[in-house]
Structure 1
Amino acid sequence: MAKFFGNLHLVLVAGLVLSLALMFGLHGDALTAQSVTRWLHTFFGIVWIGLLYYFNLVQIPTMPKIPAELKPAVSKHIAPSALFFFRWAAALTVLLGLIISVQAGYAHQAFTLQDPYRLIGVGMWLAVIMAFNVWFIIWPNQKKALGIVEADDAAKAKAATTAMMTSRLNTLLSIPMLYTMVSFNGG
């Protein structure tokens, strides 16, 4: 068992196979492209927001307490890997959410905040803003702060502050976004 659970890729594939077995075995004839898309949207949303909360609840507050000689373990190995999954989970969550809204026929009404889709529309806009922040503010600044791209010490410090503040903004926005997502009954 240790060999199985020690292999993350194998565990993820087994989880996918188990999910597919449940979908086809229990959902059978009622399984639709939209239900699979909703499941994937939820999965990637959990990865995205889970990593957002990891960064803001664990990594950012803990970094000042880590001895200087140990910080490269985070900045050179853990953070770049976590940021990879963070970025792509954000992109896939938003893309799949858009696909769901198109499949269900409410994309235009939601994005233009028309009733009865205003609630989900607000959530969609919050998610788009947050994903924009991930790709166009947090990630470019993290690349400087982590030394992935060349920057002097002053630029690194400024980039780290900008990335942190934008990440905190996303944390703030994630709370009402979650409310809109779980409270929407249509579609």
Structure 2
Amino acid sequence: MEFINFLIRWGHLLFGITWIGILYYFNFIQGGYFKQATPEALADAKAKLAPSALWWFRWGAMFTFITGVLLLGGLSHNNQFNNSIVIAALMGTLMFLNVWLIIWPNQQVALGMKEGDGPAAGAKALLASRTNVLFSGPMAFGMLASPHASQWGGSGYGTGVGGIDLIVCIVVIAALEVNALMGKQGPMASVKGVIHASLGLTVVLFGILYYL
């Protein structure tokens, strides 16, 4: 049984590397290239490169989510199931839903694979994608922090789940997800801005867990 758990963790890591790696590629590399490419190169990339990358992207997200759910079930029986992992799991789930329910449907329109308002769909996909980058920093921190939480102290660290600190964190995350659905990019409009925002959100969320 322990070996099966290890294999699931290994798969979760591999699928997660695939998913988040392509997420960063889209936001940090491809977006900038699309703005500078010639019309011919842009058309070719949209027809061939982007659909292929999106296939790996969305299925990487799917299997990261599935293996994550399996791992979360195992954590419920030990001291790694705490507020830290709950926050990480919440953001990971929202990121997965953003991929399949917002980014992928709108990218199909933006790339001309389906009928619709391309520019509007592209803007919706970009905001959700930027939000996933925003969540990725604290999500990874929470996953890695959960085994060490009881050693760090603070009201939000330990073996239990719940408390005002967790509620405040969930409210913050929910507000950011609502912004992903109907808001604006704000500081996430630039690559530097979304990186700084992700690091800042990590400090805010886990500062709340520690001090509140």
Structure 1 match to 2:199 = none
Tell me the amino acid that sits aligned with residue 125 of structure 1: L
Q: 1:89 to 1:106 in 2, by over 3 A?
A: farther
Tell me the amino acid that sits aligned with residue 83 of structure 2: R
Equivalent-residue separation in structure 1 for 2:107 and 2:19 (angstroms): 16
Structure 1 match to 2:73 = 102
CA shift, 1:173, in A, is 0.6
1:181 aligns with 2:171: no
1:127 to 92, 96, 106: 92
Structure 2 match to 1:7 = none
CA shift, 1:106, in A, is 4.7
SS of aligned partner of 1:138:
helix
1:143 aligns with 2:108: yes
Structure 1 match to 2:121 = 159
Structure 2 match to 1:25 = none
| Residue pair 1:44, 1:93 contacting (<8 A) in 2 also | yes
Q: 1:139 to 1:129 in 2, by over 3 A?
A: same
> What does residue range 47-126 of structure 1 map to in structure 2 within 5 Å?
47-106=18-77, 117-126=82-91
Tell me the amino acid that sits aligned with residue 101 of structure 1: L
Identity among equivalent positions (%) equals 35
Equivalent-residue separation in structure 1 for 2:77 and 2:41 (angstroms): 50
Structure 1 match to 2:202 = none
Unpaired segments of 5 or more residues in structure 2? 149-158, 160-212
TM-score by length of 2: 0.66
CA shift, 1:184, in A, is 1.7
Tell me the amino acid that sits aligned with residue 173 of structure 1: F
| Residue pair 1:44, 1:90 contacting (<8 A) in 2 also | yes
Tell me the amino acid that sits aligned with residue 49 of structure 1: I
Structure 1 match to 2:134 = 172
Equivalent-residue separation in structure 1 for 2:123 and 2:146 (angstroms): 35
Structure 2 match to 1:8 = none
Equivalent-residue separation in structure 1 for 2:99 and 2:6 (angstroms): 27
Equivalent-residue separation in structure 2 for 1:55 and 1:169 (angstroms): 13
| Residue pair 1:90, 1:134 contacting (<8 A) in 2 also | yes
SS of aligned partner of 1:136:
helix
Deviations 1:37-62 (A, max 9, x none): 00000000000000000000000122
SS of aligned partner of 2:97:
helix
Structure 2 match to 1:36 = 7
CA shift, 1:31, in A, is 5.9
Equivalent-residue separation in structure 2 for 1:54 and 1:106 (angstroms): 36
CA shift, 1:178, in A, is 1.0
Aligned length: 149
Equivalent-residue separation in structure 2 for 1:166 and 1:103 (angstroms): 30
TM-score by length of 1: 0.75
Tell me the amino acid that sits aligned with residue 70 of structure 2: I
Tell me the amino acid that sits aligned with residue 46 of structure 1: I
